[in-house]
């Protein structure tokens, strides 16, 4: 018992690090909503298609600076095109990071013709241990009820585990680092199983994901991310 | 099955004998009020066709004599109660309405497993079959007064995909162009409708065209794939139909991009089709 208590107190003695395995798990399991590697300047782009929406495609480009400690930022543009319309989404966020926690506040606006929908999303992550981070976010809209999410990401050896709870949905993900630079991820969300493969060459990351959604059909997404300053 | 086979043979026979240019374009089997059953005939070509000597018969085989002239690129309506029909749809005198003897004649329940509810056979003065349709119970709109419309007269009337439920606000279009004509050129398995919807402000009509009759449900999905609302519970549907999203149906709480998804099941065949829609609550 004493051994376990000492192990639990070790991070408090030796301190937390922004490159603890749990933060890596948060990034690996979800590049879009996770926590980028600390100390990097990154640029990413992804393309998404849906089987049940012929002729539709979403493209996203984002740039950010993730600090090891102190302030950072993230900006992104996302466009969804379909045969008779297109939306454009702009989002910017300020990030503040310390060794044991990370906070960000994002402001976004989605536009379609003359229509606009704005949102504000504060989000906080806390490292409970080097192998477990938990977080929560709220997305507020000028009209309508807000969206809540509670998240947890964990790493144990080569295994990565993630859980996200929304008000009326949940998502579970498990990943394994099959070999250095190659991670396989299985995800179950919205009654839809998904699989992803991540190839990581330190400064460049390539991610391919496929989801079998009961209504949207096969959802395919390819992501590429370039990073500078990764230690 | 036996009924479908008969109709198929009939259509092959019809093609062999040549077509005089009269099409059955709209049917009401379940009238809403006192207007009674009616059938709309059209002459898609510019040449008028006289119906003198022509007959119409149903599955019982009893022939009823017809009269009148179908104007070129115009319509003629066969009705059980012409005056009531004219009053209900405010039809001008220019729309010809003929009352064949012995109406009503149409059944709205299948005659048995695999057998159509009824058959409408139009024969010319020589007795040659010019047009026929065998409809099944699940082709018919459950709502009284809504018509079964021919989507495209270039498609044989025996094909389920050639017929759909009227999307006209009046429920039917006697004596004028069918409401489904707008999607006559659309390919099969398609969901069409407006790119933006504000259901509480004004109803949005979505139309679909499927390979056959079956059961459909319609759901609203957000961009992350989460189901926001069940808009239409699973129910029977014709091959061509429409669904109106109005304020009475669920509406998302905040504006944004959503996917309106239709799921169709006809026997073992399944189709999923979605459509991106900007929704303003």
What's residue B233's pLDDT? 87
Residue B249: name the closest of B206, B208, B214 by CA: B206
- Which residues between 156 and 195 in chain B have a beta carbon less than 8 angstroms from any beta carbon of chain A? 195
Burial of A38 (0-12, 13-18, 19+ CB in 10 A): buried
What is the value of pTM for the model shown?
Answer: 0.72
Residue B30: name the closest of B165, B215, B161, B182 by CA: B165
Sequence length of chain B is 281
Q: Which residues of B touch A214 (CB under 8 A)?
A: 272
Distance CA B155, CA B162 (A): 6
pLDDT at B48 over 50: yes
CA distance A116 to chain B (A): 8
Helix ranges (H only) for chain A are: 2-14, 21-29
What's residue A226's pLDDT? 96
CA distance B174 to chain A (A): 32
Q: Which residues of B touch A56 (CB under 8 A)?
A: 276
Q: Which residues of B touch A50 (CB under 8 A)?
A: 259, 274
What's residue B9's pLDDT? 46
State how far the alpha carbon of B201 is from the alpha carbons of A117, B197, B220, B248, B259, in Å.
18, 9, 18, 11, 19
Strand, coil or helix: what is B81?
A: coil
Q: Which residues of B touch A51 (CB under 8 A)?
A: 272
pLDDT digits (tens, 9 = 90+) for A55-87: 899 999 999 999 999 999 999 999 999 988 899
Which of A52, A169, A189 is facing B272, going by the closest CB pair?
Answer: A52
Interface test with B, best of A210, A215, A219 (most B CBs within 10 A): A215
Q: Which residue has the tokens 């990764």?
A: A230
Which of A115, A168, A213 is facing B225, going by the closest CB pair?
Answer: A213
pLDDT at B184 over 70: no
What's residue B8's pLDDT? 46
Whether A115 and B278 lie within 8 Å, measured CB to CB:
yes
Residue of chain A whose alpha carbon sits nearest to that of B224: A190
**pLDDT interval class at A54 (50, 70, 90):** confident
Distance CA A223, CA A61 (A): 10
pLDDT at A51 over 70: yes
What's residue B183's pLDDT? 65
What's residue B5's pLDDT? 47
Whether A144 and B252 lie within 8 Å, measured CB to CB:
yes
pLDDT at B104 over 80: no
Mean pLDDT, range A190-198, rounded to an integer: 92
The distance in angstroms from the start CA to the end CA of chain A is 36
């Amino acid at each position: 018992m004493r051994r376990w208590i000492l192990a639990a107190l070790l991070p408090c003695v030796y301190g937390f690090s922004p490159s603890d395995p749990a933060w890596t798990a948060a990034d690996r399991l979800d590049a879009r909503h996770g926590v980028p590697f600390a100390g990097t300047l990154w640029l990413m782009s992804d393309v998404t298609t849906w089987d049940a929406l012929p002729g539709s495609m979403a493209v996203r480009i984002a740039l950010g600076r993730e600090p090891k400690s102190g302030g950072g930022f993230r900006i992104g543009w996302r466009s969804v095109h379909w045969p008779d319309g297109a939306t454009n989404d702009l989002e910017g966020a300020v990030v503040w990071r310390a060794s044991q926690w990370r906070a960000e506040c994002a402001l976004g606006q989605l536009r379609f013709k003359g229509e606009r929908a704005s949102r504000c999303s504060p989000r906080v992550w806390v490292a409970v241990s080097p192998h477990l981070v938990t977080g929560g976010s709220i997305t507020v809209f000028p009209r309508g009820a807000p969206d809540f999410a509670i998240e947890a990401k964990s790493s144990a050896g080569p295994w990565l585990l993630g859980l996200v709870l929304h008000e009326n949905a949940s998502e579970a993900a498990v990943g394994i680092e099959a070999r250095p630079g190659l991670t396989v991820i299985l995800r179950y969300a919205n009654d839809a199983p998904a699989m992803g493969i991540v190839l990581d060459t330190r400064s460049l990351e390539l991610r391919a994901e496929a989801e079998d959604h009961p209504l949207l059909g096969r959802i395919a997404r390819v992501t590429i991310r370039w990073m500078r300053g990764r230690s | 099955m036996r009924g479908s086979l008969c109709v198929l043979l009939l259509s092959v026979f019809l093609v062999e004998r040549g077509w005089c240019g009269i099409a059955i374009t709209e049917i009401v089997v379940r009238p809403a009020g006192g207007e009674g059953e009616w059938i709309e005939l059209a002459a898609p070509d510019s040449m008028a066709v006289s119906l003198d000597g022509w007959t119409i018969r149903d599955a019982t085989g009893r022939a009823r004599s017809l009269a009148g002239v179908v104007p070129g690129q115009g319509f003629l309506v066969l009705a059980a109660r012409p005056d009531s029909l004219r009053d209900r749809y405010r039809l001008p005198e220019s729309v010809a309405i003929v009352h064949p003897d012995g109406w009503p004649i149409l059944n709205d329940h299948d005659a048995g497993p695999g057998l159509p509810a009824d058959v409408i056979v139009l024969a010319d003065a020589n007795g040659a079959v010019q047009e026929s349709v065998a409809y099944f119970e699940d082709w018919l709109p459950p709502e009284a007064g809504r018509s079964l419309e021919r989507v495209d007269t270039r498609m044989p009337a025996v094909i389920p995909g050639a017929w759909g439920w009227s999307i006209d606000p009046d429920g039917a279009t006697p004596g004028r162009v069918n409401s489904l004509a707008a999607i006559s050129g659309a390919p099969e398995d398609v969901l069409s409708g407006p790119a933006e919807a504000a259901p509480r402000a004004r109803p949005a009509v979505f139309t679909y065209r499927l390979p056959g009759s079956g059961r459909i449900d319609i759901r609203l999905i957000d961009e992350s794939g989460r189901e926001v609302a069940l808009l239409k519970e699973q129910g029977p549907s014709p091959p061509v139909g429409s669904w109106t999203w109005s304020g009475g149906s669920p509406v998302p709480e905040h504006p944004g991009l959503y996917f309106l998804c239709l799921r169709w099941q006809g026997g073992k065949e399944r189709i999923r089709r979605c459509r991106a829609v900007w929704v303003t609550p």
